[in-house]
Chains A and B, each alone.
Chain A
Amino acid sequence: MPTSPHRSYLTGVGTILILVGLLIALAVLTHLTGSVVLTRFATQMFIDVVLVLGLQIFMGNTNVLWFPHAGFMGIGAYASAILSMAPMQKSLTLAHLYPFLADIHLPFLPALIGGALVAAAVAGVIASPLMRLSDFPLVITSFALLVIIHVVLTHWHTLTNGPQTLFGVDNYTSMENAAVWACIFVVVAYVFKESKVGLQLRASRDDLVSAGSIGVNVVAVRWIAMVVSAFAAGIGGGLFAHFITSFTPKAFYLTDTFVVLVMLVIGGPATVTGAVFGTVVITFIYQGLRWIENTINVDQVFSTNIAGLSDVALAIMLIVMLILRPAGIFERNEISWQSIKRFFGRAPSGAAVMPKIGKEVN
């Protein structure tokens, strides 16, 4: 890694440019195919990039297994849908909605940000005591929080239509605006990681006691990361709500938690690059398997419909990955121009090149 701050800054810009470039390239390629199916896949992928980066902001910088992410995503989805829905539609879907909410009708962007702010605010209040915990208590309480959010979403009929589908959300999310948000959060996650708070967090991740002894307020920096992470989850949820247009609280529970977790862990939780690559790679595999599943079901290869194939494959991949390379594909270092050149064997002058790789290429 470069040592001077100047070099480090340039490498950072490089990393962001590469990742944003990759996302834009994928969006443009999808647009050029003109395929409706691919566009839907890509939109879902960009939403997942937002969610996975959100999880990376907290989990990657703290190494805490964090479950409520999908719950905050759900809060963002419901809040933004209520803010953006036309009063007429609301009287059909949510007949008993509180009067002060029934007349609100915001455009997409304010509704999206409003929903994310609600998610961040809820997280900031209810999850704040958890920042003091560690180990088993933290794992159990974070899981408990996901279950609590799910129970409340499922039973608060007035706000969420309960376990029934909330329908009639306007289809505002396009592939383009999902891609823009994905790029925004690449920058946010990277800048956060390199910021003072991010550095303090990573110091406390690597050595809790030492970080505390040099004056890092671990509870405070964790709280900041958690709120930023919940905001990202809220944006992801809002994008999802206006993409899928009808959903139930089940969409924000264990299955979704699992998929987002797989993307982050396989890519590499400690790096922004890992989060982005993990999402892209797993999307290809997951959607490919889903497609196979659907084809088998449509062609009725078996007497009954099959389900669960894609999730079984994902779970096996995750277990194998954790055994072979527990820190993910991008363990520590972000992608940079140097690392790409090194990978292809054309070593730039001055950069440290591992001799082994050079030999193999020659």
Chain B
Amino acid sequence: MTESAYFVMDVLSLGSLYALMALGLVLVYGILRLVNFAYGELIMVAGYSLYLMDGSPLPWIIMAILAILAAVATSVLTERIAFRPVREKSLTAMLITSFAVSTLLQNAALLFISPRSRVVPLPDIFTHNFMLGGVLIQVRDLLGIVVSIAMLIIFTLLLNRTVLGIALRAAADNFRMTRMLGVPANLVISVAFAISGLLAGVVALFWLGRTASVTPGIGLEPLIIAFVATVLGGLQSLLGAVVGGYVLALMTVGINTFLSQDLVDYRQAFTFGLVILILLFRPEGLIRAK
């Protein structure tokens, strides 16, 4: 009983983070057909922003908001500076650009801050835990679940109830047609990148909360997770991305719980092997879009 409670808790807390990561990636992909390799670096940017504000008199929540804003700004600026000029040229050029932006941001952190990991300030509440029905619950995990689900609800309302949201969904569905109907393309794309940065920034708080440190290479793992979740969910659908996030968390926790240690080392290889199989045999994803 207790073990299954831990299991559910782990899946929920990981899955909520994975879902947000996948959502941020798929939103941009839906509109631009761009696989944004620099997405993981947004998490890194938020982390280093927190590190740089360490020791300032600001309360943590303000620092967190500023860190999220830094991720949003980075996301919007990379689009404006790097992706927009190559947008019309070719898809491969845009992909290579995103890979270059990723390398640029990582090495800038290496150059201007340090190759070594840096400590990120976290609120005390992140280390608290309490017992609930014989199960030890980390406040951090619970907070992660609550915030993620709140973000998902806000995001759904935004997409379904606002003009901007409808424009975003229309653009993700058929970008060219949406432009012809008079929706300003640059604005929609900028908003998509801003939301993508916002999601990455929120994820960063909880992702960094697990280790309390940030390194230049920290973005790779979240990026890989977002890739896999996106593929599981079917590449195009926003709902699929969320479901994909939870499915991946279920698989990850399952592998960690039930597989022997030797094989857990190969976990990434297994999940990616699975991704290749899914793309070969069911390219529309596990969840078929409506």
Q: Which of A141, A155, A261, A306 contacts B266 (CB 8 A)?
A: A155
**Assuming A148-B269, A155-B265, is B33 touching A136 (CB within 8 A)?**
yes
Is the contact region of chain A dominated by helix, strand, or loop, or is it mixed? helix
Q: Which of B99, B269, B280 contacts A261 (CB 8 A)?
A: B99
CB distance B107 to A311 under 8 Å? yes
CB distance A326 to B235 under 8 Å? no
| Cβ of B32 to closest chain A Cβ, rounded Å | 11
Task: Give the docked Cα–Cα distance between A254 and B102 (Å).
Answer: 11
Type the 1/0 row for A298-324, where 1 means its CB is closer than 8 Å to any CB of B: 000000101111011011101100110
Task: Give the docked Cα–Cα distance between A136 and B283 (Å).
Answer: 10
Is A139 in the interface zone, CB < 8 Å from B? yes
Q: How many A-B residue pairs have CB under 8 A?
A: 120
- Interface size on A, as a range, is 35 or more
Task: Give the docked Cα–Cα distance between A353 and B124 (Å).
Answer: 74
Q: Which of A148, A304, A316 contacts B104 (CB 8 A)?
A: A316
Find residues 90-116 in chain B having any chain A CB closer than 8 Å to their own CB: 90-93, 95-97, 99-101, 103-104, 106-111, 114-115
**Assuming A147-B224, A307-B111, is B100 touching A318 (CB within 8 A)?**
yes
Find residues 118-177 in chain A having any chain B CB closer than 8 Å to their own CB: 129-130, 132-133, 135-137, 139-141, 143-145, 147-148, 151-152, 155
| Cβ of B153 to closest chain A Cβ, rounded Å | 28
CB distance B104 to A307 under 8 Å? no
Query: In chain B, what residue has the closest Cβ to A323?
Result: B85
User: Which residues from B are CB-within-8-Å of A318?
Assistant: 96-97, 100
Binds A, one of B174-182, B248-256, B270-278: B270-278
Q: Which of B97, B109, B265, B276 contacts A144 (CB 8 A)?
A: B276
| Cβ of A192 to closest chain B Cβ, rounded Å | 20
User: Which residues from A are CB-within-8-Å of B266?
Assistant: 151-152, 155
Q: Which of A132, A135, A143, A319 contacts B100 (CB 8 A)?
A: A319
Is B227 in the interface zone, CB < 8 Å from A? yes
User: Which residues from A are CB-within-8-Å of B231?
Assistant: 137, 140
Q: Which of A136, A309, A311 contacts B235 (CB 8 A)?
A: A136
Type the 1/0 row for A214-238, where 1 means its CB is closer than 8 Å to any CB of B: 0000000000000000000000000
Q: A147-B268, A152-B266 are in contact. List 17 more A-B contacts (CB 8 A).
A: A63-B92, A64-B92, A135-B33, A135-B91, A136-B235, A137-B231, A137-B283, A147-B269, A148-B272, A151-B265, A155-B265, A258-B100, A261-B96, A308-B110, A311-B107, A312-B108, A323-B85
* A interface, CB within 8 angstroms of B: 63-65, 129-130, 132-133, 135-137, 139-141, 143-145, 147-148, 151-152, 155, 254, 258, 261-262, 265, 304, 306-309, 311-312, 314-316, 318-319, 322-323, 326
- List 10 A-B pairs, minimum CB-CB distance, nearest first: A308-B110, A315-B104, A308-B107, A308-B111, A144-B272, A311-B107, A323-B85, A151-B269, A326-B93, A137-B279
* B interface, CB within 8 angstroms of A: 29, 33, 35, 82, 85-86, 89-93, 95-97, 99-101, 103-104, 106-111, 114-115, 216, 220, 224, 227, 230-231, 235, 265-266, 268-269, 272-273, 275-276, 279-280, 283
